Every structure is written in structure tokens, then in C-alpha cells.
Amino acid sequence: MSAQVSSQTSGSPMPRAPSEQEVSHLFALAEHEILHGRLSEALLLLRFIRSIDPNHTDAAARTALVLFRREQWADAWDAFDIRFKLMSAQPAVTLRNADGTRSDVPRWTGGPAPRKLLVMDEQGLGDTIHFARYLKFLVEKGVDVTFVTHRILFDLLKTMELPITLKPSDEPGSVEGVGGWTPLLHIPRAFNIDPALYGEGVPYIKADPVRVEKWREKLPKDKFLIGIAWAGNPDSPAEKGRSAPLETFAPLAELPHVALVVLQKGKGLQEAETVSFRDRLILLGDEFDEGGQAFLDSAAVMMSLDRVVSVDTSILHVAGALGRPTDLLLRREPDWRWLAREHDNVWYPSVTLYRQKTAGDWREPMERLRDNLLRVMGKAPEESKTSVEIARPSETARPLVPVSIGELADRRGILDLKSERAAQKAVKAEAKRQRAALDPAWDAVLAQNDALVGLDTELRAINAELW
């Protein structure tokens, strides 16, 4: 007798994989959770989507973003490799063999570096300036580094005074004896650099003293000088709302004894001709950053400025790499590198973040920035209750920001896991210190609502599974 297999058992349908439309709905839900800061829930959804469809690149990209925002660094860097699948052409290095054939040069991902290493630039000018600091880690290990990058950054990168070879990325070439290659942005992961050290070594680029004096003579001596940049490259895939209208900067133009020095280049510069505070702008002319090499004049001018205010574009990275006091205006959902932090960042000690609270609304962060500048200038802001101290916080006086009860519980659980499982002793110690600092706030929450007892334990279990 032949057996028959039924698609139903006891009247119940067999489980089935979600349809393409249902997966789309799950991804939209994950996006919603990210938007509202519920990162644990978003991560579970994204991982479920990828278990159904391992080739879902959008889910993979958002997974990397969430991991960065949770500061799960090792997992985040590994997940960040998804960026190569989103590129039109993935980086590759080949070796010509003696018989004329070609073979792939291995990618160095960690451990002892090869004696001679090819480092490949991979993204925009800002990314290069941001991560060029980590070339020093290779040099200190005795590695012979050839860096393939944007030709227009050569002179700026040479101010790092590193014994490396620069080759342009816009022309083919060959390097003898290369034992491996790595993308520039992978160096922190390859060396397992402690995130607490990401911001060390700033400043790491320099301004040319001759240019500094040249531009200093052209700037007024009796003004509080604020350099401004309001627009990124409109053709960049990273644009997506990061630029602000120049009119957004009007509150800065109204500050007493202030002049706004225009650091903007490109298409956005056209706005300077029609903006309402045109008379408060200092335009630097056609000679500014002309001549085939980028940001040499920008760096020189910044050395004479009291402050730089910029959106998330390459000018911001120049200012941060120089260690200049800088305020960064961020869209509501910014680039991965700014994590989930409200004010500080791990990369540039001199940079303070001002993130939109409502997508598309630049007014509110600009008002906070203006009030803080008034404090720096010794003036009382109109609404001091909304201001946040702009100076880098000390261990005993850090800025306070509101968080939900769930976020507080989630953060305590993550710090517990870091203090137990992190590989570096310094990371463990810092996590333990931060965890202890949160205990009084959690005790106060439980004193008001004992129904929340155990919430942190449940969230810790979820985070342990994700870890």
C-alpha cells in the first residue's frame, strides 16, 4: 500500500515561509522600530528577515546600522562588509603570475599584517579623511603601506607625515611584492582597536603655516568668526537630507559681533547670493581651495576661526581631524558613524552633535546650537533651560538627556554583558563604571512602579542571545 503525504495535519495548515509582500511588511516594521529607537526589537526583526532571505541586502545594511548604534563594535564592523555588495564595482586586487595568468591577492582581515600591504580607499573624501588616521597603526607595526586614494587629497594626507606611498585611485597601476590588501575602513576591526581609542591622536592633519598667515590677514580681527558649510555633494548616495538650506543659519548671523565665513564649495554656494543675511557672510573668492588639491585652504582658514558649524560633509571631517571646535548638524536618522548619541561622538573630541528631533526640521537643533554659542561667547541664551553645555563634559559633569524606561533597562543589560564578555580589560572596566552610574536612576524607577521589577532581566536575556 502506498503512503500519502498530506499538506494538513489534524486540520492545521503546514507552516510556510512568509511571502515577498510579508517580508516587505516586516522590513517596514523594522524601519519603524529603528526610527523610534527600539533597536533590540529592530535587530530581532532584521535577523528574522535574513533567516528567510539571506540575500536581503537592505536588511543586512540596516543590521549593520543597528549594531553600530548599539555600539556592538565587532559585530557591526563585520556586518558593515555589506557595503561592498551595494557598490557598483567591488574592490579587488590581482597578482600577475609568472605564466601570465592572474590570481587574487588575499584580503587581510586581521592578525599579523603582511610586510607589504595595499590599502584601498573605498568611499568619499570625508570617509578618507575620517579613517586615514588608522594608517598610523600599520606604520607602527612596520608595515610598508601603499594607499590607493583620491588624488586631490594627496597634499592634505602628506601633512600626517607618515612614511607611506600614495597612488591615485583614478588610474590603473601595479605595486611589486604586495602580500595582501585591506579596505581603509576595515583597519579598526582588523586591529581590534578599542573603541575608547578611536578618537585618540587628534589632530592628525596639519594646516600649512604659510597659508594660515595668508588667510588670517584677509579675515576681520574684531569678529567672532564662525566657518559654515551647509551642503554636501548633491550627487552622493549619502545625501538623503543631510544638507540644510543656508537660510537655516540665520540665527547665527543674528549673534552679536559674529561674521560667518563661507567654507562651502560646489553647487550649494549659489545660495549665498540670495540669502537674507548676505551682508554677514565673508566669501573667500575664486582662489579658495582651487589648484587641484582639496581642503588646503579650508584647513588654513579654520586655524583662524573661533568655531566651525557644518552639516555631515567632508568639511566636518577636516575640522574634526584638525581638532578645531566644531558643531555638527545632523538629520534625524544620520549616517552610521554617529551611532545613537545625542551630543558626543567617538571619533572627534572637539565635535559636538546637534541631531534633529523631527525629520526635516533644522530649526530646533539650530536654536540649541545658537544658545550654546551664546554661552561660549559669554552671553546668556534666551532659553537657557533648553541648552546643553558645549564644552567637552568632564567625568563629573556630563550632559543629561531624557531616555525611556525601556532604554534605561536595555542600556543596563548591555553594559552588564560588556563588563562580563568584552575582550579588552579597559572596555570591561568602563562598562562596569557606566553600569554603576545608572543604578540610582533605575532604583528611582522601581520605587515608583514595582511592576517593572524584572524588566531589565528580561531585556538582558534578549541582549545575551543577540550577543
- Cell 568639511: give the residue: 315
Measured CA to CA, the distance from residue 323 to residue 317 in angstroms comes to: 10
Among 389, 223, 392, which residue's Cα sits nearest to residue 306? 223
What's 358's DSSP letter? S
403-426 pLDDT per residue, tens? 667 777 777 888 888 888 876 666
Other beta carbons within 10 angstroms of residue 67's beta carbon come to 23
Sign of the alpha-carbon torsion through 376, 262, 364, 318: negative
User: Which cell numbers in the block locate residue 274?
Assistant: 540670495
DSSP sequence for 325-347 = -EEEEE-SS--GGGTT-SS--SS
pLDDT at 210: 97
Polymer length of the chain: 467
Strands (E), 233-303: 258-262, 281-282
Helices 20-35 and 39-52: angle between axes, nearest 10 degrees:
160
317-341 pLDDT per residue, tens? 999 999 999 999 999 999 999 999 9
Measured CA to CA, the distance from residue 321 to residue 133 in angstroms comes to: 9
User: Which cell numbers in the block locate residue 367?
Assistant: 536654536
pLDDT at 455: 64
3-state secondary structure of 8: strand
pLDDT at 125: 96
pLDDT at 102: 80
Sheet with 307-311: list strands edge to edge. Answer: 281-282, 258-262, 224-229, 307-311, 326-330, 351-355
Q: Which positions of the chain have pLDDT values less than 50?
A: 1-9, 383-399
Q: What are phi and psi of 408, to 5 degrees?
A: -65, -45
Measured CA to CA, the distance from residue 85 to residue 60 in angstroms comes to: 10
Three-state secondary structure string covering 56-84: CHHHHHHHHHHHHHCCCHHHHHHHCCHHH
pLDDT at 466: 64
pLDDT at 208: 97
pTM: 0.78
Q: Catalogue all structural domains in the chain, each as residue range(s) with its CATH number.
A: 21-85 (1.25.40.10), 94-193 (3.40.50), 215-284+298-386 (3.40.50.2000), 405-466 (no CATH)
Strands (E), 97-142: 102-104, 116-120
User: Which cell numbers in the block locate residue 205?
Assistant: 592633519
Instruction: Using CA atoms of 331, 327, 234, 346 in order, give the dihedral in degrees to the nearest 10.
Output: -70
Measured CA to CA, the distance from residue 404 to residue 29 in angstroms comes to: 20
Using DSSP bridges, classify how beta strands 351-355 and 326-330 pair: parallel, antiparallel or unpaired: parallel
Q: Is 289 left (phi over 0), alpha (psi -120 to 50) or beta?
A: left
Measured CA to CA, the distance from residue 272 to residue 108 in angstroms comes to: 46
pLDDT at 380: 58
pLDDT at 11: 57
Q: What are phi and psi of 306, to 5 degrees?
A: -80, -25
